[in-house]
């Protein structure tokens, strides 16, 4: 994927109803990460690669939490895991009760956006795009209330179109 292509990457195109889980059942950071990893479509039949990704995410969390505050966490490996995925992938998860995630504001995380990318430049581009999108208070509020993955995807696409 060229640098020009990375600028056209839309979060709404990287998500699907299959990569959205509105009812995370986890009770810990590790369990949330495992649930999100299980939703990475490209890794669905590759348990060893799922384990590699989970290990990289846990290692990243050990360095510094990806909880950014306002009930949001953006789990991602410290760097792109070259060769793990051929295309960037995002998984959106919601936990209604919230999970302590070591966020900078101390708020439990309820909205999770897991990012996996094949290159560092795409990784950084998507991470910045997610961060920019989630600055929209109305989107965060609506994602907490939405009842269907299809509607969550629609909300993200609508908000992204306004960026």
pLDDT digits (tens, 9 = 90+) for 30-88: 999 999 999 999 999 999 999 999 999 999 999 999 999 999 999 999 766 778 999 99
CA distance 159 to 99: 25
Q: Which positions are catalytic?
A: 76
- Residue owning tokens 């995925």: 85
The CATH homologous superfamily for domain 11-161 is: Mannitol-specific EII; Chain A (3.40.930.10)
What CA–CA distance (Å, rounded) separates 72 from 90?
A: 14
Residue partners of 135: CB distance under 8 A and separation at least 6? none
Measured CA distances, 157 to 13, 53, 90, 160 (Å): 8, 27, 14, 5
Give residue-wise pLDDT tens across range 30-46: 999 999 999 999 999 99
CB-based contact 90:113 (threshold 8 Å) = yes
pTM, 2 dp: 0.93
- Delimit the domains of the chain by residue range: 11-161
CB 11 within 8 A of CB 156: yes
Q: Which residues touch 2 (CB under 8 Å, ≥6 apart)? A: none
């Amino acid at each position: 994927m060229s640098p020009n292509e990375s600028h056209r990457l839309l979060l709404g195109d990287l998500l699907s109803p299959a990569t959205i889980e509105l009812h995370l059942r986890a009770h810990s950071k590790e369990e949330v990460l495992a649930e999100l990893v299980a939703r990475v479509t490209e890794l669905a039949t590759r348990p060893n690669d799922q384990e590699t990704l989970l290990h990289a995410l846990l290692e990243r969390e050990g360095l510094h939490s990806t909880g950014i505050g306002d009930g949001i966490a953006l789990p991602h490996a410290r760097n792109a895991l070259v060769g793990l995925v051929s295309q960037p992938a995002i998984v959106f998860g919601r936990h209604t009760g919230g999970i302590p995630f070591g966020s900078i504001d101390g708020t439990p995380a309820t909205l999770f956006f897991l990012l996996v990318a094949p290159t560092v430049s795409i990784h950084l581009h998507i991470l910045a795009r997610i961060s920019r999108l989630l600055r929209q208070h109305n989107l965060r509020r609506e994602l907490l209330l939405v009842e269907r993955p299809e509607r969550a995807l629609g909300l993200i696409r609508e908000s992204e179109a306004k960026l």
